[in-house]
Amino acid sequence: MTGSDVAAFCDELIKDSKTYADIAQESANQAVNKAMKKVTDNKK
């Protein structure tokens, strides 16, 4: 494998991988959801 074959191979390996930004966004969303749940549970 050389040249564009290597690039295509690598692209296929990582195509469904989460990026650092995806992981950070998911973590932030979970933190916000947890905080909102805590606030709404206290109002009941």
* pTM recorded for the entire structure: 0.58
DSSP 16: T
Q: Which pLDDT tens digit goes with each residue over 3-43?
A: 778 888 989 999 999 999 999 999 999 999 999 999 898 87
Query: By the 8 A CB rule, do 9 and 1 touch?
Result: yes
pLDDT of 2 > 80? The answer is no
- How far is CA 19 from each of CA 15, 16, 22, 32, 42, rounded to the nearest angstrom? 10, 9, 5, 20, 35
